[in-house]
Amino acid sequence: MPTPRETILAALHARLSALPATALRGDLLPERVPAEGLLILRDGEPGAPEVTLSPLTYHYQHRAEIEAVVQGADRDAAFDTLCAGVGTVIATDRTLGGLCDWVEAEAPQPVDLAVEGAASLKAAIIPVVLHYSTADPLA
């Protein structure tokens, strides 16, 4: 049986997969970026939890990351559309079907990356904070 952390990350990946862009989880950047864009969900860091003792509960503010990448002539508009899509997916269900207490994305910091012999990339990491509680930090 998957842990709450894995269940939450899988649910977030499933939500991202509903977007027109290709959504991967934990993969390397492929050689070619699809025309609709690319999202790569990274598991991130759960951080140090706050703990309540009765009952024993660990409260996490887990920082996952979504790498958003577009390529092509109209990459500024494509990047904006891709980031807005991620925001819409998160805002539509901030509890991921009741798995989290709250999900919140932070603003991306886009960069342009030159690619030798091809159109440049526009990319950013979108931090996503997942608030959830569990009875065991390893379960």
Nearest to 39 by CA among 84, 100, 92, 101: 84
Q: Which helix (H) or strand (E) holds 77?
A: helix 75-92
pLDDT at 117: 78
pLDDT at 114: 84
More confident residue, 1 or 56: 56
Beta carbons within 8 Å of 64's beta carbon, 6+ residues apart: 9, 12, 41, 42, 43, 44, 127, 128, 129, 130
What's the pTM value of the predicted model, to 2 decimals? Answer: 0.94
Q: Which helix (H) or strand (E) holds 43?
A: strand 38-45
Walk me through the domains of the chain, giving residue ranges and CATH numbers: 4-132 (3.30.70.1700)
pLDDT at 120: 86
Q: What is the pLDDT of residues 16-61, one digit of tens each?
A: 999 999 999 999 988 889 999 999 999 999 999 999 999 999 999 9
Q: What is the pLDDT of residues 99-132, one digit of tens each?
A: 999 999 999 999 998 888 777 899 999 999 999 9
Beta carbons within 8 Å of 91's beta carbon, 6+ residues apart: none
Nearest to 33 by CA among 81, 64, 80, 67: 67
